[in-house]
Amino acid sequence: MNSMVEQSAICQSEQAHGLPCHRLTLPCGDQLLVAEQGAHVLSWVAQGREQLYLSESNVWDGHSAIRGGVPVCFPQFNQRGDLPKHGFFRNLSWQWVQPELQANAARLTLCLRDSEASRKFWPRAFEVFLHLDLAPGRLQLSLDVRNTDAQDWHFTGALHTYLAVDAIAKVQLTGLHLQPEWDAVADRHGQAASHLQINAEFDRVYAASATPLLLEDAAHQLQITQSASWANTVVWNPGQAKCATLTDMLPQDFERMLCVEAAQVFEPVVVPAGQSWLGWQRLQVL
């Protein structure tokens, strides 16, 4: 008789970088670490490898923006509006919801509702959930946006994913070929090349592809998929010169990261009163 008991995923609360955090661990060893500040994913370890870049120069004070991991940029992308850069959701503390734990999968959900703190920036009623689904070699982040206001409101934003790479000069990103492209550095419109390679500051917004993207980094491959509800994909690396000016990154950190973001940049999403919107990004180690 087999006396072995099937192991289940576990969730533990802990302090990391001085912040309240929650760690999911699967029996295979894959782990996810998320901070209550901003519902910010700080680490995703899959197949024994850290998949996300996190800066060593962050100010861990509980409200300053965290560089790296996966920031939730909402309800404004970058500086395209009157709110703080990338909105303010990444600076507030979210509440965690009891996780759902299975043998080979786990879901952790964090929630942010309108409050006195949020209304200082944005006079709207809302309820937003970030669902984090962890499975062996796979992470899906789903932003579940609900308008609890009496009137319609709109937003732009992103899941601003910082992927860890071994050497940016050797990285290739495919899957965006011929998609409309806006090069924010040169302020030039065009079409995406078949293979994106990064050899200088790179900041481009693409019309999202209906098919997955493939990030190739030496022997490491990562498939990146996003829901059709996100209109754009953003690819960003500061390059050597700009990285040297960023106080929250080490000067050579541009070599170790590439942002591939599921985003809504140009056209705001309108969420009618009482309605909801869902957008996700899925990362799969191949």
In a domain, 221, yes or no: yes
In a domain, 4, yes or no: no
In a domain, 222, yes or no: yes
**Structure confidence at residue 191 (pLDDT):** 98
In a domain, 32, yes or no: yes
pLDDT tens string for the chain (286 positions)? Answer: 444 557 899 999 999 999 999 999 999 999 999 999 999 999 999 999 999 999 999 999 999 999 999 999 999 999 999 999 999 999 999 999 989 999 999 999 999 999 999 999 999 999 999 999 999 999 999 999 999 999 999 999 999 999 999 999 999 999 999 999 999 999 999 999 999 999 999 999 999 999 999 999 988 999 999 999 999 999 999 999 999 999 999 999 999 999 999 999 999 999 999 999 999 999 999 9
Q: What is the CATH number of the domain that holds 90?
A: 2.70.98.10
Domain carrying residue 211: 13-285
Is residue 262 within 8 Å of 280, Cβ to Cβ? yes
Place of tokens 């950190």: 253
In angstroms, the CA 135 to CA 7 distance is 14
Is residue 240 within 8 Å of 49, Cβ to Cβ? no
**Structure confidence at residue 219 (pLDDT):** 83
In a domain, 5, yes or no: no
In a domain, 60, yes or no: yes
- Total domains in the chain come to 1
Cα 196 to Cα 54, 130, 145: the distances in Å are 23, 30, 32
**Residues 6+ positions from 210 with CB-CB distance below 8 Å:** 228
Place of tokens 């080979």: 104
In a domain, 6, yes or no: no
Per the DSSP assignment, residues forming a β-bridge with 207 are 232
**Structure confidence at residue 218 (pLDDT):** 86
**Structure confidence at residue 6 (pLDDT):** 72
Model confidence pTM above 0.85:
yes
Cis peptide before 75 (omega within 30 of 0): yes
In a domain, 68, yes or no: yes
Greatest Cα pair distance in the chain: 68
